[in-house]
Structure 1
Amino acid sequence: RMYWAETEKPCGEAHDVTAKALIRVCFTPLPQGDISITGGTGVGKVTRPGLSLPPGAWAINPSPRRQITENLREVLPEGLGGWVEITIPRGEEIARKTCNPLLGIVGGISILGTTGLVRPISCEAFRETIRLHLHQRALLGGGICLVFGNHGRTWARKLGFPEEATVEVGTFLGFALEVCRKEGISQVVLLGQIGKMVKVAGGIFDLHHEVADARREILFAHLVRFGLPERFWKAVWEAKTTEEALEHLMAWERHREFFAHLAQEISQRVRTRLGGKAEVESIVFSLRYGVLGRG
């Protein structure tokens, strides 16, 4: 005899691609005392080391496994066990919009969680994804390419960086570099659009606009120090965005030399943040002009 139940994943304030996903569970009582928990359609399987589960395991994390087991133990007669199979009808489709493919989890989404409660912790969840991805890369060896978002990921592909070695860090660059340092990752490429990379050149590693922003001032200081002719000063200073400033800077005969220098300055900032031992390259690009400089 089998028992079925289904529910929709609540979203609350922590709305993400898994919100309202249908979750189905089939429970089959067994005379043995053990409770086994497996996945089915739409639940991913782990294929790489570095996660909390070994390769080959269903991507159902230890905390949900423990909670399911404890809840069943409360209602099952003593000595009775059972088999729990979890399925997510749209899991494989949803998983394509998550970080699972990059982490080597194939076939569906992961069953995650610690308390069973949905809380608005998207920043926490994103940081944990960054940490897991970097931990996994450290175990597998080789370098990594840090990008801020989709534009960076697109350029990473164009420049030939492997998808699995490209880690999206959003605004949490400082956190990602700290994880790299702790994990002993010794080859780091930072690839980013000029606006965010200018912040790093000024020593800003939390890139959220509410934390710090001095893009105009940092860019202008580096340009003047490098010898930008005075005829460009007013236009660059009054530009509303770094991309707008580029429209003027492209007329300067030394712009390529400057952006190579800026990339080197950024690399030095990152290298210092990593403890001075890592091999670092920075690549600065523009949405309009492509790669501006690397070093």
Structure 2
Amino acid sequence: MTEDGRGLRHGWTTGACATAATTAAYTALLTGEFPDPVTIDLPHDRHPSFALAREHRDGARATVGIVKDAGDDPDVTHGALVSATVSPGEPGSGVVFRAGEGVGTVTKPGLPLAVGEPAINPMPRQFMTEHVAAVAGRFGGTGDVVVEVSVENGAELARKTWNPRLGILGGLSILGTTGVVVPYSCSSWIDSIRRGIDVARAAGHTHVAGCTGSTSERTVQQLYGLPEDALLDMGDFAGAVLKYLRRHPVPRLTVAGGIGKLAKLAEGHLDLHSGRSQVSFAALAQLVADAGGSAELVAGVRAANTALDALQQSRAAGLPLGDLVAAGARRTAEDVLRGAPVAVDVVVIDRAGTIVGRA
């Protein structure tokens, strides 16, 4: 909540803005008219409308720009102009994505996109592809288009992100799994965690799960069949979950998340946010070495681009890095719990929600 009692305002991701821009541009390409505002469909029955900040049609190309509104989240891309240019593609090609000015290109492995691909993440690609198909069906198009996404001043904004270190060069990534930016507030989030534990205890639950995100939450729910009020929206605040459970124990806790977040927990970090803790590839390499990994694998993990890259290298060599990270995260959790009557297990997942490590 804000100081005057209002709820924090949600915003829209770059992926949602790019989807809206693509929808409006393709509609104009087929009909000659730009829908303003343009409405899109997002998960969880959300149907936001976006005003067009820029529109232009030049023969067989149409361009739409939309200003990103991140709500009350301190997002570096708040106010950025996200544009999509749509032009006809080769017959049968479907939707082909290109990086325009200010959108990065993937240059290193370990990300959910192949090297050389525009840094337009899988879910925004899915959103745009679905909306292109809907527009094509409505107005008689083929759906074979080239979509070029750009972000004004994106290359400069990207310097304030981890993109350069991750090998995403030339600009920003187009992100978002739900299209919604949830306002980031440490105090309110931690208070929500505590209230979640209180509710679970009051309901008599003997097993709760602290998950870093929606994908790990779905995995744990499927794995254990936990009710919704036993699922804690832990996010990056592993320490908040563990410290509160130390004082208000529940018999069993599952900690679940991606290998990058849980590698940080394994090293002893309790705040898993990228701005306050980083994955130590030297620490991952030491885990591999202690487990008998080859010198070549140890060197590869030490030089890895991401924790997922290190995991993939280790799995190819037959070494269970996911299990090793899970075991380290479990040790950290038990250290913080300080003997409280809470049994801990850890589940490590990949980006698709597949379990890649347990302890």
Verify same fold: TM over 0.5: yes
Larger Rg over CA atoms:
1
Counterpart residue identity of residue 200, structure 2: R
Q: Match for residue 297 of structure 2? A: 232
The 2-side partners of 1:198 and 1:123 are apart by 21
Counterpart residue identity of residue 307, structure 2: T
Structure 2: gaps (5+ residues) = 12-43, 47-182
Counterpart among 281, 303, 322 of residue 259 in structure 1: 322
The 1-side partners of 2:233 and 2:296 are apart by 38
Q: Match for residue 129 of structure 1? A: 192
**Deviation, structure 1 residue 157:** 2.6
The 2-side partners of 1:174 and 1:235 are apart by 31
**Deviation, structure 1 residue 161:** 3.5
Distance 1:250-1:179 versus aligned 2 partners, 3 A rule:
same
Counterpart residue identity of residue 16, structure 1: H
Structure 1: gaps (5+ residues) = 1-8, 18-94, 98-119
Give me the identity figure in percent.
Answer: 22
Q: Match for residue 38 of structure 2? A: none
Does the CA-based 8 Å contact 1:188-1:280 persist in structure 2?
yes
Counterpart among 172, 180, 201 of residue 245 in structure 2: 180
**Deviation, structure 1 residue 213:** 1.3
1:117-161: CA deviations, max 9, x gaps?
Answer: xxx982222111111111111222311011011121121233133
Distance 1:132-1:232 versus aligned 2 partners, 3 A rule:
same
The alignment's TM-score, normalised by the length of structure 2, stands at 0.47
Does the CA-based 8 Å contact 2:287-2:324 persist in structure 1?
no
Counterpart among 310, 314, 323 of residue 249 in structure 1: 314
Q: How many residues align?
A: 184
Q: Match for residue 151 of structure 1? A: 215
Alignment RMSD: 2.5
Correspondence 1:1-295 to 2 at 5 A: 14-16=8-10, 122-141=185-204, 142-162=206-226, 163-253=228-318, 255-256=319-320, 258-277=321-340, 278-287=342-351, 290-295=354-359
The 2-side partners of 1:246 and 1:169 are apart by 23
Deviating 4+ runs (over 3 angstroms): none
The 1-side partners of 2:209 and 2:333 are apart by 13
**Deviation, structure 1 residue 200:** 0.8
1:76-118: CA deviations, max 9, x gaps?
Answer: xxxxxxxxxxxxxxxxxxx999xxxxxxxxxxxxxxxxxxxxx
Name whichever of 179-188 and 198-207 sits farther off: 179-188
The alignment's TM-score, normalised by the length of structure 1, stands at 0.57
